[in-house]
Amino acid sequence: MSAGRFAPSPSADLHIGNLRTAVLAWLFARSTGRRFLLRVDDLDDRTFTEIGHRQVADLEAIGLTWDAEPEWQSQHPDRYSAAIEQLSQAGLLYECYCSRKDIAQAPRAPHAPQGAYPGTCRDLTDDQRQVRRAETGRPPALRLRTDVITYTVRDLLHGDYTGIVDDFVVRRGDGVPAYNLAVVVDDAAQGVDQVVRGDDLLPSSPRQAYLARMLGHAEPTYAHVALVLNEDGARLAKRDGAVTLAEIGVSRALEQISASLGWRATDVDGMLAEFDPALLPRQPWIYQPH
């Protein structure tokens, strides 16, 4: 059965913008008859288990419900290893020894999109790889050998979006699966076919949709919703004052989320009755804590 999801990273407590996106993900799923799932994306070493548990509690406090126990990425290493092996067996991976500085300073082909990996390690010989290994003294990352430069996805709010699909990293040099791989593998394993998240992640969607195709999975339906910004037009941060649920309170947070979307309801069930994706704002909500 198809599903939508919310997948926070437990690096910091959820702020009002995260909570608003979670509510919208829940509304999209419920309004389309999908299951709704919660996944804690905790592969990064800058995440904390206790913060993840607080995030789950905050989402429950504002009335969100899910149809299976929350998953934690760190509990599924075999899932990512299997995907890496599948890509490797298909000849779609290669070792990369480049640092960020190497990539920034590398010459680029005239047609290469800005920000794309320049392909420095793509065609190294075995002897050249041994030399690079000795020079760097660190384990290589694994990159996906792509056969396109760009890829187009269809987004419910943004229409057709075309973005870069370079030879992106699928496993970091420290052995941790890269975000672009983990999210694709997890969504496929959980039956997620609807991805609702902040529009700052729209540029990553072409890479993820392309990788899903390479792994034999269907591309999900995307809906990238407008972000919440502070009064200076920047992304919300702790310095912006009362931004977390503990500081705002459940009732006030729900009132603010609803008002930001032009609704009157003050609970998620009431919001579901008013929900119409076509009427969602396309511009960021400027959050004023006072």
The answer to the question of whether 287 is labelled as a binding residue is no
How far is Cα 209 from Cα 218, in angstroms, rounded to an integer? 8
Question: Tens of pLDDT along 53-74?
Answer: 999 999 999 999 999 999 999 9
pLDDT reading at 224 higher than 80: yes
Is 88 a known ligand-binding residue?
no
Residue 104 has a pLDDT of: 83
Is position 6 annotated in a ligand binding site?
A: yes
d(CA 94, CA 88) in angstroms, rounded, equals: 8
Higher pLDDT, 288 or 86: 86
Is 172 annotated as a binding-site member? no
- SS3 string, the chain, reads CCEEEECCCCCCCCEHHHHHHHHHHHHHHHHCCCEEEEEECCCCCCCCHHHHHHHHHHHHHCCCCCCCCCEEHHHCHHHHHHHHHHHHHCCCEEEECCCHHHHHHCCCCCCCCCCCCCCCCCCCCHHHHHHHHHHHCCCCEEEECCCCCEEEEEECCCEEEEEECCCCEEECCCCCECHHHHHHHHHHHHCEEEEEEEHHHHHHHHHHHHHHHHCCCCCCEEEEECCEECCCCCECCHHHCCCEHHHHCHHHHHHHHHHHCCCCCCCHHHHHHHCCHHHCCCCCEECCCC
pLDDT reported for residue 241? 78
Tell me if the pTM is above 0.85. Answer: yes
Residue 41 known to bind ligand: yes
Handedness of CA 109, 111, 114, 117 (dihedral sign): negative
Q: From CA 80, how far away is CA 86, in angstroms rounded?
A: 10
Residue 284 marked ligand-binding: no
- Is 179 assigned a ligand-binding role in the annotation? yes
Known binder of ligand: residue 98? yes
Percent of the chain with pLDDT over 70: 98
Mean pLDDT rounded to a whole number for the chain? 94
Evaluate whether 16 touches 256 at the Cβ level (below 8 Å).
yes
9 is in an annotated binding site: yes
d(CA 82, CA 138): 23
Write the pLDDT tens digit of every residue in 108-159. 766 667 778 999 999 999 999 999 999 999 899 999 999 999 999 999 999 9
Kindly state the percentage of the chain with pLDDT values over 90.
86
User: What integer is the mean pLDDT of 42-49?
Assistant: 91
pLDDT of 146 reads 97
116 is in an annotated binding site: no
Q: Are 286 and 226 in contact (CB under 8 A)?
A: no
**Is 96 within any annotated ligand binding site?**
yes
Query: 172-217, pLDDT tens digit by residue?
Result: 999 999 999 999 999 999 999 999 999 999 999 999 999 999 999 9
- Unique residue bearing structure tokens 């290469």: 112
235 labelled ligand-binding: no
Instruction: Go through the domains of the chain in sequence order and give each one's CATH number.
Output: 3-74+227-286 (3.40.50.620), 76-191+201-225 (3.40.50.620)
pLDDT at residue 10, rounded to an integer: 96
Tell me whether residue 58 is annotated as binding.
no
